[in-house]
Chains A and B, each alone.
Chain A
Amino acid sequence: MRDVAVVSFAQTPYKRRENTRSEVEMVMSVVAQAIADSGIPKREIGFTCSGSSDYIAGQAFAFVGAVDALGAWPPISESHVEMDGAWALYEAWVKIQCGMADAALAFAFGRSSMGTLPETLTMQLDPYTLAPLGVDAVGMAALQARAALDAGTVTEEAMAEVAVRSRRDAKANPEAQLKGDFEVEKLLAEPYWVSPLRKHDCPPISDGAAAVVIAADDVARRVHRNPAWIRAIDHRIEPHQPGIRNLTRSPSVTLAGQKTHADPAHLDVAELHAPFTHQELILRRALELGDGVRINPSGGALAANPMMVAGLARIGEAARQIWSGGARRALAHATQGHCLQQNLVCILEGN
């Protein structure tokens, strides 16, 4: 295996509505910044991969349009995943492992505000039996939360505590969208939004883009004093039909954690991509993360949840913790699909 590290990370400020910039304009800013900050000349970036979904913008081949932001001349080696950008980074990591590149760019973008996101996400469901029912993303998450509450694995208080901590920590994140000081008691006094979820249990709808540069071996050592080495990365998926799954648990993230040897005793920080409060509790349990691991110093997806971007941003935020010395070892997690259907775990380590 080659040593591969995250050497730069750029993200837009996340907003409820990005009114003035198109996807290309957002992508151009983060790609230019990530490449500049990496210290790697653009011509040495041997592979580029993006994560996005055309359903978000409602525009066919929006992902091809984003290539306009790259300056693909002379022609570049490029790919796309209809997944969160964390999976684009995974593909880039595989390319580097195969010796097909020494440095790679992964980026992701989403402008959810142009559509009605919870309904757009209904299109992820099986088109014959579930999608026609029109159950939306918040409804799906509420089913999962209800199951976890009834199983006794989460409580509404613990869910509210996740929201309070996320929004408090987001105050230190200039790009976060939803931040501030809140109190558990006051949040629990709020009415249900989609029972048993209250508004604070749900993520904001966010527009934004992010880009990450990864590099192998001596390239990473040349350009970075303390590269965030990807010690392990793995992703696992559960069945598509939610009825088949035990929604109160996340066996796919447990397995990805095992495959990456994610040992809570050796982790300082975990950036978990949990769009809903109860999902963080399910993930923490599945990865056996105790009090010794700081969760989501960035504020996580409850502070900003740009679709297709938030998972890649978790890897970027975890890498920032390594670079700043805030963590020696960090776990980054990304999710995709309804109710944590698919999960990626990545272990980052400093020198």
Chain B
Amino acid sequence: MSDAPSVKSIITPTRLEYEFRVGGAHAEFLASLAEGKLIGKRCPGCEKVYFPARASCPRCGIAMSESVEVSDRGTVTTFCIVRVPSENIDLKLPYCAANILLDGSDLPLIALLQECEAQDVCIGMRVQAVWKPKSEWGPTFENIRYFRPSGEPDVAAEMLGAWI
């Protein structure tokens, strides 16, 4: 055996660059965001509206047809209070990640809920988007900083049917 220290690991840097092109449905979704619009797509089969807009209905496996503008207000269908710090998330703990069913959409999206104490969040809470100033809008969902309670009366859990 040699006296040289054994090699425990090596570093071999690798870098691949990609130019990502999102395809038809997502391109429409992103372009609309730059104008402050939230665009979903309706399935011609099950007639559900999926937001964000997508190419296919994952349930029916067919191309989405009609584009549908959905509201920036919605209802919390479920939520999670995060009390654990994470390296890449710069938020004051605890914070709330909520499933929000936007009015006009049939698919909740996961979004940050702020301006609300953790103990006050509930299923059925009405919320609305808080947008960045229009001058800062781009083709990105980051145009919406977060959601906050809208002050409307809660929706009864029974009314949320299949979503909870």
Contact of B16 among A23, A58, A68, A73 (CB under 8 A): A58
Interface residues of B in 1-42 (CB under 8 A from A): 10, 12, 14, 16-27
Contact of B56 among A58, A69, A116 (CB under 8 A): A69
Q: Known: A57-B18, A119-B16, A128-B12. Contact between A71 and B62, CB under 8 A?
A: yes
Instruction: Report if A324 contacts B (CB, 8 A).
Output: no
- The 7 A-B residue pairs with the shortest CB-CB distance in the complex, in nearest-first order: A71-B61, A22-B23, A58-B18, A132-B12, A73-B59, A68-B58, A25-B55
Q: Are A25 and B23 in contact (CB under 8 A)?
A: yes
The contact size tier of chain B is 20 to 34
Instruction: Report if A99 contacts B (CB, 8 A).
Output: no
- Flag A177-206 by CB within 8 Å of B: 1 or 0 each: 000000000000000000000000000000
Residues of A within 8 A of B (CB): 18-25, 28, 31-32, 42, 55, 57-59, 67-73, 111, 114-116, 119-120, 123, 127-128, 131-132
Instruction: Look across to chain B and name the residue whose beta carbon is closest to the beta carbon of A31.
Output: B61
Tell me, rounded to whole Å, the shortest Cβ–Cβ distance linking A158 to chain B.
Answer: 35
Q: Are B60 and A68 in contact (CB under 8 A)?
A: no
Q: What total count of A-B pairs have CB within 8 Å?
A: 86
Q: Are A131 and B14 in contact (CB under 8 A)?
A: yes
Which residues of the partner chain B approach A131 to less than 8 Å between Cβ atoms?
12, 14
Q: Known: A57-B18, A58-B18. Contact between A20 and B55, CB under 8 A?
A: no
Tell me, rounded to whole Å, the shortest Cβ–Cβ distance linking A64 to chain B.
Answer: 11
Contact of A114 among B18, B26, B58 (CB under 8 A): B18
Q: Are A71 and B57 in contact (CB under 8 A)?
A: yes
Q: Known: A127-B12, A128-B12, A131-B14. Contact between A71 and B59, CB under 8 A?
A: yes
Q: Are A69 and B61 in contact (CB under 8 A)?
A: yes
Q: Are B16 and A24 in contact (CB under 8 A)?
A: no
Q: Known: A28-B63, A115-B18. Contact between A67 and B58, CB under 8 A?
A: yes
Cα distance A73–B59 in the bound complex, in angstroms: 5
- B interface secondary structure, majority: loop
Instruction: Look across to chain A and name the residue whose beta carbon is closest to the beta carbon of B57.
Output: A71
Cα distance A23–B25 in the bound complex, in angstroms: 12
Tell me, rounded to whole Å, the shortest Cβ–Cβ distance linking A115 to chain B.
Answer: 5
Which residues of the partner chain B approach A42 to less than 8 Å between Cβ atoms?
61
Cα distance A21–B16 in the bound complex, in angstroms: 22
Cα distance A71–B43 in the bound complex, in angstroms: 12
Q: Are A115 and B55 in contact (CB under 8 A)?
A: no
Tell me, rounded to whole Å, the shortest Cβ–Cβ distance linking A65 to chain B.
Answer: 10
Cα distance A57–B22 in the bound complex, in angstroms: 11
Cα distance A24–B18 in the bound complex, in angstroms: 18
A sample of 9 more A-B contacts (CB under 8 A), given A22-B21, A25-B24, is A20-B27, A22-B55, A25-B25, A28-B63, A55-B16, A114-B20, A116-B16, A127-B12, A131-B12
Instruction: Report if B126 contacts A (CB, 8 A).
Output: no
Which residues of the partner chain B approach A71 to less than 8 Å between Cβ atoms?
56-62
A-B contact list, 14 entries, CB within 8 Å:
A19-B21, A20-B23, A22-B21, A22-B24, A24-B56, A25-B25, A25-B56, A28-B63, A58-B20, A68-B61, A71-B60, A72-B59, A73-B58, A114-B18
Instruction: Look across to chain A and name the residue whose beta carbon is closest to the beta carbon of B43.
Output: A71
Which residues of the partner chain A approach B21 to less than 8 Å between Cβ atoms?
18-19, 22, 111, 114
